[in-house]
Structure 1
Amino acid sequence: MERLFNLDAQLLFDACTLAIAMFVLFTLLSYLLFEPVRKMLDERKRRVKEEQDTAKKERADAVVFKEEYETKLKEVDKEAQVILSEARKKAMKTESQIVAEAKEEAARIIARANAEVELEKKRALDEMKQEMVAIASLMAGKVVKASIDTNVQESLIDETLKEMGERTWLS
């Protein structure tokens, strides 16, 4: 009787040798190839985990920095408002100072103008007095020409002086 496949000692020996060779080859390849690949994959997993942890930490830091930045922006806005209000106050103070100085200057100009008007009035009065004296002299000269005696001449001068008034000579 013949068998389908000859299961004899040689076939069993070859099968066992093949199995042992495959096991040795698998073990050798596992040691040479699978171990480095596993180590590389473990190292990659470790790096990816570290990068994820670093990214989470950096994200948390970024949130903190963003909050600090927004807080500082608000503080800067408040400081800007304070500076602007102080500048407005200074501007208003300067404006009121300038207005006060302008009013004082206007008052000085008006006072000076009034003084000049008074001086002009006095000059005009003095000129009128001088003209009156000149007219009186001319009248006296005409009277002298008419050969009036000294008594008449003195009475004319006294009369003219009385007409002009004593105030004219005092001022």
Structure 2
Amino acid sequence: MDGRIFGLDIQLGFDVIMQGIAVFIMFALLSYILFEPVRKILEDRKNRIADEIDQAAADQAEAAKLKAEYDHKLKNVEKEADALMAQARKKALKREEEIVAGAKEEAARIIESANHEAELARINAQDQMKQEMVKMAVLMAGKFIQNQMDEKDQNAFVDQTLQEMGDKTWLQE
């Protein structure tokens, strides 16, 4: 050694080159053995995270779509409920009209029946009155025959009988 601190000789150059080659080989070997699996794990993790992010975005889009569909259906349900209520009201009004019409028809039948019964009662009363008149006439005739009254007495007797029967009896027909 010639008093130099750092001697550049061929041996040092060869050692440096050998160490550089050894480091390069070791780096390549470690890169192949260690770094590749780590890179693969990191790449797989990166892909998995990207897939999860994509899936989360798709799920979020699906949730937004379902929410929009739900809101739309909710609005339609309200409209359908309103439509059903309107339809029910129409049916109720129609049923009410049918009931009222049926009641009016029944009332008309009852009134017609009552009028018919009143007419029958009036006819029956007229028949009875006519029968009474006939009986009275027969009685009067019998009394005329029995008494052989003169004309003045007969007129007085007819007037008296008419007064007993009353004016209303002769006026109804």
The answer to whether TM tops 0.5 is yes
Map of 2:123 onto structure 1: 122
**TM-score normalised by L of structure 1:** 0.62
Map of 1:99 onto structure 2: 100
1:43 Cα shift?
A: 0.7
Identity percentage of aligned residues = 51
Map of 2:112 onto structure 1: 111
Cα distance in 2 for partners of 1:108, 1:40 equals 97
What RMSD, in angstroms, separates the aligned Cα atoms of the two structures?
A: 3.9
Map of 2:46 onto structure 1: 45
Question: Which secondary structure does the structure 2 equivalent of 1:98 belong to?
Answer: helix
Counterparts of 1:13-28 in structure 2, within 5 Å, are 20=22, 27-28=28-29
Cα distance in 2 for partners of 1:119, 1:76 equals 63
Aligned residues: 146
Cα distance in 2 for partners of 1:124, 1:101 equals 34
Runs of 4+ displaced beyond 3 Å: 22-30, 134-144
Deviations 1:42-85 (A, max 9, x none): 11111111111221122023112211220222022112212211
**TM-score normalised by L of structure 2:** 0.62
Cα distance in 2 for partners of 1:46, 1:116 equals 101
Map of 2:12 onto structure 1: none
Map of 2:77 onto structure 1: 76
Q: Which runs of 5+ in 2 are unaligned?
A: 1-14, 149-153
Map of 1:67 onto structure 2: 68
1:88 Cα shift?
A: 0.7
Cα distance in 1 for partners of 2:140, 2:147 equals 13
Q: Which has the higher contact order (CA 8 A, sep 6+)?
A: 2
1:110 Cα shift?
A: 0.8
Q: Which runs of 5+ in 1 are unaligned?
A: 1-12, 149-154
Cα distance in 1 for partners of 2:57, 2:75 equals 27
Which one is further off, 70-79 or 128-137? 128-137
